[in-house]
């Protein structure tokens, strides 16, 4: 099993997750709805933290649940946890091993909150600290850089959102997602050629907004982990408040411009980058205008609703990062300084 094979098996993994865990997720959603939490208090780090960014948009918009991101140091270093009255305390972790994330759920339980874990390790310490566990069932992920566990976490978040909403019509959209993912993975050969253009890239910015704010962070993280590129993620709004000063002719600006509510703002920003600042533009998009604007376009399948697009949009980013790692002559399976399981305290 390699990073490449793990990227390519994601449609199958998510299809199985939908088949195997829908009943479990439905029961958890019913319990959550009965408990009526006032908000979600969410603990996660790294790739799982990026999945948490998606949850903050999706659970906020679809379920009207505010999502507060935990600061685990308050629990483990300062020993001064905040009051969590009426919270649903959620931990997201592919390994379920990190003590600081576990400590957040343990404190939530101590304060009388209900706790939920989304993980690929249902017998882990994090799972043991939870009232409810959603097992993403991605199988062993051998590559250090997480890919299939990330999309598995996104799918679990989306499954829970529509189960809490009790809108069966949205299940059809989720069931379609593995097919859209297969289409996106069909860009592999084209993306391999695109990666050649960026062989000597050392820095870039990655821009996303709305649901794909999470995608920008996850794509940039993968380029840092695997390609050692200084890839900084921003929303298109935050980018204009200072970071735009970095841009000069030929500076790589990458973005996820999916059709939806934030698209007008995104295309305006990218048009300025290309036409005014002469930036090097790479886009992942389902919009002709955004694809034509780019020096390097990567086209998403048409018809994907914006709320589910992060499950598909990250795949071209994963493939781009894999091929760029290879082009640079780096080890895609074991990047320097990092390990599969990172335990922070």
pLDDT 10s per residue in the chain (345 long)?
699 999 999 999 999 999 999 999 999 999 999 999 999 999 999 999 999 999 999 999 999 999 999 999 999 999 999 999 999 999 999 999 999 999 999 999 999 999 999 999 999 999 999 999 999 999 999 888 899 999 999 999 999 999 999 777 899 999 999 999 999 999 999 999 999 999 999 999 999 999 999 999 999 999 999 999 999 999 999 988 888 888 999 999 999 999 999 999 999 999 999 999 999 999 999 999 999 999 999 999 999 999 999 999 999 999 999 999 999 999 988 787 665 456 665
Provide the pLDDT for residue 79.
95
Provide the pLDDT for residue 334.
79
Provide the pLDDT for residue 337.
62
Strand partners, 298: 284
Same CATH topology for 3-178 and 186-327?
yes
Cα distance between residue 4 and residue 277, in whole Å: 35
Provide the pLDDT for residue 1.
61
CATH number of 3-178: 3.40.50.10490
Domain ranges (residues) in the chain: 3-178, 186-327
**Level-2 CATH architecture, domain 186-327:** 3-Layer(aba) Sandwich (3.40)
- The dihedrals phi and psi of 88, each to the nearest 5 degrees, come to -95, 115
Provide the pLDDT for residue 242.
87
Copy the structure tokens of residue 124.
Answer: 């882990």
Copy the structure tokens of residue 255.
Answer: 């973005």
- The dihedrals phi and psi of 229, each to the nearest 5 degrees, come to -90, 135
């Amino acid at each position: 099993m390699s990073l490449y094979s793990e990227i390519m098996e994601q449609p199958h993994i998510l299809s199985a997750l939908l088949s195997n865990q829908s009943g479990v997720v439905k029961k958890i959603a019913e319990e959550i709805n009965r408990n009526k939490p006032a908000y979600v208090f969410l603990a996660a780090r790294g790739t799982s933290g990026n999945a948490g960014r998606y949850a903050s948009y999706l659970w906020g918009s679809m379920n009207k649940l505010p999502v507060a991101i935990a600061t685990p140091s308050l629990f483990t270093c300062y020993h001064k946890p905040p009051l969590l009255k009426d919270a649903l305390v959620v931990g997201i972790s592919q390994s379920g091993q990190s003590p600081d994330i576990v400590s957040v759920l343990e404190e939530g339980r101590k304060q009388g909150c209900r706790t939920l874990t989304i993980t690929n390790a249902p017998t882990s310490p994090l799972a043991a600290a939870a009232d409810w566990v959603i097992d993403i069932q991605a199988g062993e992920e051998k590559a250090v850089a997480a890919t299939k566990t990330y999309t598995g976490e996104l799918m679990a978040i989306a499954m829970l959102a529509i189960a809490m909403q009790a809108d069966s019509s949205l299940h059809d959209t989720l069931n379609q997602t593995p097919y859209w993912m297969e289409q996106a993975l069909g860009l592999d050969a084209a993306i391999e050629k695109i990666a050649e253009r960026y062989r000597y890239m050392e820095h870039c910015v990655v821009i996303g907004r709305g649901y794909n704010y999470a995608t920008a962070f996850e794509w940039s993280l993968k380029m840092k982990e695997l390609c050692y590129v200084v890839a900084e993620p921003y929303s298109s709004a935050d980018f204009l408040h200072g970071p735009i000063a970095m841009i000069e002719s030929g500076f790589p600006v990458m973005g996820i411009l999916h059709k939806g509510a934030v698209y007008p703002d995104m295309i305006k920003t990218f048009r300025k980058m290309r036409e005014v600042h002469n930036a090097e533009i790479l886009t992942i998009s389902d919009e002709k205008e955004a694809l034509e604007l780019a020096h390097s376009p990567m086209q998403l399948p048409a018809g994907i609703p914006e709320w589910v697009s992060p499950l598909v949009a990250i795949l071209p980013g994963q493939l781009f990062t894999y091929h760029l790692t290879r082009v640079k002559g780096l080890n895609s399976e074991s990047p320097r300084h990092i390990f599969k399981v990172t335990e922070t305290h």
